[in-house]
Amino acid sequence: MKRNIVFFVILICLFWGCDKIEKPYMHLNDTKVEPLSVAKFDSIAGTFNASGVYRKFLFEEFTGSHCTNCPDGHQTLRDLKTVFGDTMIIVGIHAGSLAEPNYEYPYEFRVSEGLQLYTDFGASYVPFGVLNRTRYNGNSVIIPPTSGKWKSTIQQRDKSAPCAAVQIVNQYDNQRQMLVSNAKVTMLQDYPNPLYIAFYIIEDKIIKPQLNHGVRIPDYEHSHVLRGSMNGVYGKPLNGTGILAKDSVCLMACKISFYEKDWAKENCQIVAFIRDNTTGEILQVEEKDIQN
Amino acid sequence: MAKKRKLTYLLGATAILFMVTVLGASRLNAQIAVGNGKISGEFGFSGMYYIPDSLIGARAVESKFRANTFLSLQYSNGGFTVGARYEFYLYPLIDFEDIGYKGHGLTNYFADYRNSFIQVTAGTFYEQFGNGLTLRMYEDRQLGVDNSLTGARVRITPYKGIYIKGLVGLERNNFDFKLDDRKDYVRGIDAEFSFSDMFPVISEKGFTAIIGGNFVSKYEKAVDKFITIYPHIDTLKQDAQIDLPQNVATWAARAALGYKGFRLEGEFAQKENDPNESNQYIYKKGNALFLSATYSMKGLGVSASFIRADNMDFRSQRAAQTITSLFAINYIPAINRQYSYQLIGNYGYASQPNGQIGAQLQVNYQIPRKTKVGGQYGTDITFNFSRFHDIDKTPVPMTDSLGTASGTDGYKSKFFKFGKNLLYQDIGLELSRRFDKHWKLILAYNFISYNLELLQEHGKMFFGHNVAADLTCKINSKHALRLELQHLYAKEDTKSWVYAMLEYSISPHWFISVGDQYNYGNADKDMRIHYFNVTGAFVTGTTRIGLSFGKTREGILCVGGVCRSVPASYGLGLTVNTTF
């Protein structure tokens, strides 16, 4: 009998075949590109000093061009940025009904990645903020803008030592209007869950109309506006599996074309962040201008 | 050239028909001994001369006489069997042409050897695992379904009561025989442990106990597949590429327990991510649950069953269209009662592998014979009830923003919650009574609720009351007369119909019938049409030759929950069937 069971199990193994497709199931364009070698990366980025690494945080601000209270949120973030400096990295996401273009606000700020995040976070209004995609209230990551909640939440954030360091090297080909962004991740600690890395592109100094307390401001300056992701909304696993041991180094690269896009590359930055794919929390984030 | 080839094919088919008719007439109804072995076979010819009739929608066809023809032969000697089947469907009946079942060739060929321990098959074969939730390769000639596998199969019985099957193969694609070009195949394994066979003491005490399980996996090479996201927002509308799994697995576990007249059985199946045409390329797992309980004793039988299927359309090729069963690997059984009544046949329930939940109850009771109520021969009463809904579905949030379910998990579904839409309901009562040696009467009433919109993609909810009477008068040992009357009362679709059929048979060789369906309730007076049919047949031994003339209404034909559309037709039909 035992022999029969072993035989059956072997047969199952022979016949069993299933490919489990992980999210995201779709991708918008071919972003695959060979990353730089470590030596080449280090020669451009400079010597890495682990002792100088500190944990930065990502603040995603959801907004809309005809959201009358949103400029208050923009001002709050400007104030917070002066307090937290380069520890704070902001991504502005236009979503919700108040971001839909209309006659007075015709510019399309919305991008598919932003709409997906808005939906996935269960949002129904703007403005609101999300800090490192950690839970704020129950299961919700949404932080309302009222009563200084953005500031207090940031002050109470997890300030534990970073598990990884992220360095970015951007290479822009003017002739092909192609950006290749390289990120080097150095693990500073062991981490139990799979880690993903995502590359977002954001842009400052976009002059477009904005509603502000009932008044249409035709030449409002929009900052850190999300233009899209280079490798999916939630990124891709580091090193294929997402599991890396302490002191290991992983290089990832993505490319994106600026052809026929109204993006000003001199105002664009790449935001690369590492995400715990089990909890969804963002563990480390870095930002780099496309053109230094 | 084409005309010459066409003529050759027709002559070939006619020659086969003539040969078999002559063989049939000479009563060749026994297997043919060849040495220590024997040859057996089956021949079928079903032809029709089509007459256009614009009123009923019977279209004009270029080749006016069309036929489905096949011949299968088997040679067996001891445990060894070889066989082959040739099908000539180059100019098939228009029903079959409509579903792409058109062509000719050797559609089935195999060699098989078996002894008490092992059975091996190479070539074409049919197979079923459990109730078929993960794999059912079968043929239904009437429907034009032939999901045979061409490959290899092994069945072993390592110990009494243990049955193991394994198979690999490519599924039939009508008359496309280019197997080398195919980029898909199916593999599977099934094991069953029958404790009542293993330990006779269990069966001796009236118990049965069986457990089983199987794994089925299909491989299909992934291709670049693009879907359109944000189709409703011009500025965001774009194509996105989705990742496709090349290997898709299903598994199932089943159990059956019985004690004397009581039997309880169940099977649960799950399918891993399988984005395909039928589910709009979503990545949700599929599952199906089938439960059945039966009880029988003298004069009483009760059966109840439950089925739920969610995203379980499982095919060899992900782009296969779902209007036919082509490339279907599994089968979600229809548990509702199957009828042969003409008028409600057009509202037969088609099993919905991608979303159905329902239950069925049937009670058979015989009022004892030689009682005042039961009469001399007893009276059979059958009550049945079945009801099927779609399943509860809550779209995942992304589908709203993306404007499509494709490329997402699609929806979430509470397992035992019924969906809002009723698909099908049948409440039926049937009485059957033999009055004496000559007279027998069957009376039946059915109330059918049928969701035309979801099951046939037109119309709305249909409610029909059907009454049927089937009266047989056995005049003497050779002659019998049968009268069938039906009335379907409805306010929807084509509304009310009546049907009458008179059949006269002279046993054992002849029978003739005259029937008419009349759509007297049609809202359009011009469409109140009579669909008459005259049928005659001659039977000798295992050979049957039939002739028919009349009209067939457009509709659907369902067998066991698998349906296909039937086009309207008018003409003269000829059938020849023989087995030897």
Is residue A108 situated within a structural domain? yes
CA distance A184 to A284: 12
Q: What's the gap in Å between the CA of A136 and the closest CA on chain B?
A: 20
Please state the rounded mean pLDDT for residues B67-85. 96
- Each residue's pLDDT tens digit, A116-159: 999 999 999 999 999 999 998 888 999 998 878 999 999 989 88
What's the mean pLDDT when you consider all of chain B? 91
Residue type, B410: G
Beta bridge partner(s), residue A195? A276
Structure tokens at B554: 């457009």
pLDDT at B13 over 60: no
pLDDT at B124 over 70: yes
Structure tokens at A20: 């489990």
Cβ-Cβ contacts under 8 Å for A52 (sequence gap 6 or more)? none
CA-CA distances (angstroms) from residue B56 to B60, B490, B492, B497? Answer: 12, 20, 19, 15
Answering whether pTM is above 0.80, one says no
CA distance B17 to A290: 79
Reported confidence tier of residue B1, pLDDT bands at 50, 70, 90: very low
- Each residue's pLDDT tens digit, B281-298: 999 999 999 999 999 999
Q: What's the gap in Å between the CA of B415 and the closest CA on chain A?
A: 22
Q: What number of C-beta contacts closer than 8 Å exist between A and B?
A: 93
Q: What's the gap in Å between the CA of B346 and the closest CA on chain A?
A: 40
CA distance A203 to A26: 25
SS3 assignment for B232-277:
CCCCCCEEEEECCCCEEEEEEEEEEEEECCEEEEEEEEEECCCCCH
pLDDT of residue B4: 47
CATH of the domain at A229: 2.60.40.10
Chain A residues closer than 8 Å to B247 by CB: 17-19
CA-CA distances (angstroms) from residue B327 to A18, B147, B274, B286, B313? Answer: 19, 7, 14, 18, 10
- Best of A3, A21, A113, A226 to disrupt the B interface (most B CBs within 10 Å) is A21
Helix (H) or strand (E) holding A201: strand A195-203
Within an 8 Å CB–CB cutoff, is residue B230 touching chain A?
yes
What chain A residue is nearest to B159 in terms of C-alpha separation?
A1
Chain A residues closer than 8 Å to B248 by CB: 18-19
Domain boundaries, chain B: 115-333, 337-452
Within an 8 Å CB–CB cutoff, is residue B217 touching chain A?
yes
Cβ-Cβ contacts under 8 Å for B576 (sequence gap 6 or more)? B17, B20, B21, B24, B43, B44, B45, B543, B544, B545, B546
Interchain CB distance below 8 Å, B407 and A12: no
Within an 8 Å CB–CB cutoff, is residue B142 touching chain A?
no
CA distance B145 to B131: 18
Chain A residues closer than 8 Å to B164 by CB: 4, 8, 11
CA distance B80 to A190: 63
CA B382-B387-B390 angle, 5° bins? 160
Is residue A252 situated within a structural domain? yes
Of B444, B446, B551, B453, the residue nearest B493 (C-alpha):
B453
CA-CA distances (angstroms) from residue A167 to A23, A161, A267, B81, B233? Answer: 25, 17, 19, 70, 36
Beta bridge partner(s), residue A266? none
Of A203-207, A239-243, B467-471, least confident by mean pLDDT is: A239-243
Three-state SS at B172:
coil
Count of Cβ atoms closer than 10 Å to residue A215 Cβ: 9
Chain B residues closer than 8 Å to A7 by CB: 158
Chain A residues closer than 8 Å to B241 by CB: 26-29
- Each residue's pLDDT tens digit, B133-174: 999 999 999 999 999 999 999 999 999 999 999 999 999 999
Is residue A14 situated within a structural domain? no
Of B462, B461, B387, B385, the residue nearest B427 (C-alpha):
B385
ipTM, two decimals, is 0.76
Per DSSP, B394 falls in state E
Query: How many independent structural domains does chain A possess?
Result: 1
pLDDT at B341 over 90: no
What's the mean pLDDT when you consider all of chain A? 89
CA distance A206 to A220: 8
Structure tokens at B8: 């050759």
- Each residue's pLDDT tens digit, A159-193: 888 999 999 999 998 877 789 999 999 999 999 99
Contact B103, B96 (CB under 8 A): no
Phi, psi torsion values for B41, nearest 5 degrees = -170, 175
- Each residue's pLDDT tens digit, B408-455: 999 999 999 999 999 999 999 999 999 999 999 999 999 999 999 999
Count of Cβ atoms closer than 10 Å to residue B18 Cβ: 11
- The length of chain B, given as a count of residues: 580
Structure tokens at B440: 């027998």
What is the DSSP secondary-structure string of A89-133? EEEEEE-SGGGS--SSS------HHHHHHHHHTT--SSSEEEETT
Reported confidence tier of residue B14, pLDDT bands at 50, 70, 90: very low
What is the DSSP secondary-structure string of B61-98? -SSSEEEEEEEEEEEEETTEEEEEEEEEESS--HHHHH
CA distance B137 to B434: 40
- How far is it between the farthest Cα atoms of chain A? 82
Reported confidence tier of residue B122, pLDDT bands at 50, 70, 90: very high
Chain B residues closer than 8 Å to A32 by CB: none
Helix (H) or strand (E) holding B202: helix B200-204
Better pLDDT: B560 or A65: A65
Three-state SS at B465:
strand
Is residue A26 situated within a structural domain? no
pLDDT of residue B87: 97
pLDDT at B20 over 50: no
CA-CA distances (angstroms) from residue B46 to B66, B155, B577? Answer: 8, 35, 8
Cβ-Cβ contacts under 8 Å for A152 (sequence gap 6 or more)? none
Give the whole-number percent of chain A exceeding pLDDT 90.
68
pLDDT at B27 over 60: no
Q: What's the gap in Å between the CA of B228 and the closest CA on chain A?
A: 10
Please state the rounded mean pLDDT for residues B519-540. 95
Domain that holds residue A225: 38-289
Within an 8 Å CB–CB cutoff, is residue B160 touching chain A?
no
Contact B482, B452 (CB under 8 A): no
Structure tokens at B58: 């019977």
pLDDT of residue B22: 43
Interchain CB distance below 8 Å, A11 and B243: no
Within an 8 Å CB–CB cutoff, is residue B556 touching chain A?
no
Is residue A25 situated within a structural domain? no
Q: What's the gap in Å between the CA of A10 and the closest CA on chain B?
A: 11
Q: What's the gap in Å between the CA of A13 and the closest CA on chain B?
A: 10
CA distance A164 to A244: 10
Interchain CB distance below 8 Å, B217 and A15: yes
User: Beta strand A128-131 with B418-434: parallel, antiparallel or unpaired?
Assistant: unpaired
pLDDT of residue B258: 95
pLDDT at A287 over 80: yes
Chain B residues closer than 8 Å to A226 by CB: none
Reported confidence tier of residue A8, pLDDT bands at 50, 70, 90: low
CA distance A10 to B98: 44
- Best of B154, B190, B225, B273 to disrupt the A interface (most A CBs within 10 Å) is B273
B273, B397, B401 ranked by CB distance to A21: nearest: B273
Locate all alpha helices (DSSP H) within chain A, ordered by sequence: 2-15, 38-45, 70-84, 112-120, 149-155
Please state the rounded mean pLDDT for residues B388-394. 95
Is residue A10 situated within a structural domain? no
Count of Cβ atoms closer than 10 Å to residue B536 Cβ: 15
- Each residue's pLDDT tens digit, A210-231: 999 999 999 999 999 999 999 8
Per DSSP, B3 falls in state H
Of B101-115, B467-481, B556-570, least confident by mean pLDDT is: B556-570
Q: Residue A180 CA to chain centroid, in angstroms?
A: 16
Interchain CB distance below 8 Å, B407 and A26: yes
Phi, psi torsion values for B455, nearest 5 degrees = -100, -25
pLDDT at B19 over 50: no
pLDDT at B96 over 50: yes
